[in-house]
Amino acid sequence: MVVVHLIDPWPTVRIVLLVVCAWGLIWMVGFLASLKVYPHLLSAASLRVRHGATVDIAIPWTAIASITNQRRHVASSIRTVQLSEAKSGGTDLQIAVWARPMCTPVLRHALIVPTPKGDQEIAELSFLVDDPKGFVARARRHLTAAATRQDG
């Protein structure tokens, strides 16, 4: 912002660029804050996969067969939320940062979930977490507890 302000000789253009840069900076700070305010959650009832304020998917533990922390590579893209053809034949929802999702819950059956493009039926899901090993360990404890409740 400062360089553009000093280089640009036209006051009107300088003001417009200043407003656009300030808006972009405010948007970026808000987006980064939304990632901290809306993290993925593990509760007794479900796994909630979230990405800022745009994606919030609750998956009941009974719909998850297992969960792994395998590193997957997605198609190079600037989009964080991507839908693609899954190996199983259904739709794969990937919530990736730097094209690197790390956690993959194996679903027992296809689920209809809300996405930024509307409700989608997905067969596979993968997403990024800060501590994949710790997250998967806690998720597996929830899976075991849910299986125990279901059997009892």
Scanning the structure block, which residue is given the tokens 């997605």?
A: 74
Clarify whether residues 53 and 72 are in a common domain.
yes
- Number of compact structural domains in the chain: 2
CA distance 76 to 96: 10
**28 neighbors 52 (Cβ within 8 angstroms):** no
Q: Give residue-wise pLDDT tens across range 23-73.
A: 999 999 998 898 888 888 888 889 998 888 888 889 999 999 889 887 766
Clarify whether residues 23 and 84 are in a common domain.
no
Clarify whether residues 145 and 98 are in a common domain.
yes
Bridge pairing between strands 46-51 and 55-60 = antiparallel
- For 53, the domain range is 41-151
Percent of the chain with pLDDT over 90: 15
Average pLDDT over residues 107-131: 85
Clarify whether residues 10 and 53 are in a common domain.
no
Clarify whether residues 30 and 71 are in a common domain.
no
CA distances from 34 to 6, 28, 30, 52 (A): 33, 10, 6, 5
Clarify whether residues 20 and 67 are in a common domain.
no
pTM of the model: 0.73
Clarify whether residues 130 and 79 are in a common domain.
yes
CA distances from 17 to 21, 24, 26, 88 (A): 6, 10, 14, 48
